[in-house]
Structure 1
């Protein structure tokens, strides 16, 4: 009986670790917490990253999303934001955070002729538990460095989980950040749309 109880406890602990995968990598779980920088500075730093835009280029509202290609929460956020594509510009910035293939998949999306199409394919395949988009056989070294730079920005901003959204609320003018997936209405409220 005790052995079975231990096995169930061990299995439960492992599941908690798996479910928290989008929150922290093992190395970060042991790292001390870093103080967050002010939201307006984090927003300005995010604007220096590399990504692809969805929505009007001259939109009055811009949000930045750091995402990992292997994160199911990022895939859910991608789907939730589609109805708002005409109202807000979202800059999706890939990071190499959760798995080694995150970097190569992020580069593959950025280097695609239509990154939005590649991203949609990645998120669909990820949610279907097919591992996301197949990385390109040759990677653009400049884009490899840009995804690495995005990852460094993410860490500088004190990102601890993906997706990480940086925004400015249209009604209050306040800057903010939000980690995790949300539905369409929650995102619209976050941005004051």
Structure 2
């Protein structure tokens, strides 16, 4: 194998391994204490308390929670990959201010939008086009900013290290799980038991 082939092969393999964003979180005024990893069931119960927006049938038998950062391209890919399951699965997307200083305001803009799903669609399209995501609103309500902070604190309390983080309960087995990173629709469907 020549050097060029080896370099391209190594790059291709490295690219396949990138399924989540694990950059250091945005700097905060107070350093967080190291989190103890929560069990998948604990994470599921905590995720139910987070502030997010739902996509899919309101009365779906199965709910999946996704912690995401609006600057994360893997989160954008998961959003696109999950679209075929929107008629079968309720997904609650929980926005964070985790990766970049702009993440909190962008998350608050999505969460406070008249149609959060449409705002998310715009953000994820722009992220995948490498255009930085949605433009943050200049008039964000303090209560929405507080929700994003609470979501981010909750995410940090889980001991998670990357986004997206999928928290689920398998509909067939009743088993709880946490999956870091983007997955395709078939893997998501199998994971959650639909």
**TM-score, length of structure 2 as denominator length:** 0.85
Q: Per-residue deviation at 1:118?
A: 0.2
Deviation at 1:35, TM superposition (A): 3.6
1:140, distance to aligned residue in structure 2 (A): 1.0
| Match in the other structure for 2:62 | 61
1:24: how far off? 3.3
The whole-number CA distance in structure 2 between the counterparts of 1:34 and 1:98 is 17
Rounded to whole Å, the distance in 1 between the matches of 2:104 and 2:140 is: 10
Question: C-alpha separation between the residues in 1 aligned to 2:185 and 2:139?
Answer: 36
Distance 1:181 1:20, change over 3 A: closer
**More helix per residue:** 1
2:128 matched to which residue of 1?
A: 127
- Aligned partner of 1:101 in structure 2 is 102
**CA 126–85 in structure 1, closer or farther in 2 if over 3 Å, else same:** same
Residue matched to 1:25: 24
Partner of 2:112: 111
Query: Is the 8 Å Cα contact of residues 20 and 164 (structure 2) preserved in structure 1?
Result: no
Q: Which consecutive unaligned segments of at least 5 residues does structure 2 have?
A: 1-10
* Structure 1 unmatched runs, 5+: 1-11
CA-based RMSD of the aligned residues comes to 2.4
The corresponding residue for 1:173 is 174
**C-alpha distance in structure 2 between counterparts of 1:82 and 1:35, whole Å:** 33
SS of equivalent residue, structure 1 residue 36:
coil
What is aligned with 1:75?
76
Give secondary structure in 2 for the equivalent of 1:92: strand
8 Å CA contact 1:67, 1:74 repeated in 2? yes
Q: Distance in 2 between matches of 1:89 and 1:75?
A: 17
Which whole-Å CA distance do the structure 1 matches of 2:100 and 2:19 have between them?
Answer: 14
Q: Residue 82 of structure 2 contacts residue 185 of structure 2 at CA under 8 Å; is this kept in 1?
A: yes
Q: Which residue of 2 aligns with 1:3?
A: none
Note if contact 2:20-2:75 (Cα within 8 Å) is conserved in structure 1.
no
Query: Which 4+ stretches in 1 moved above 2 angstroms?
Result: 31-35
Number of residues of Structure 1 aligned to a counterpart in Structure 2 = 176
The 2-side partners of 1:32 and 1:87 are apart by: 38
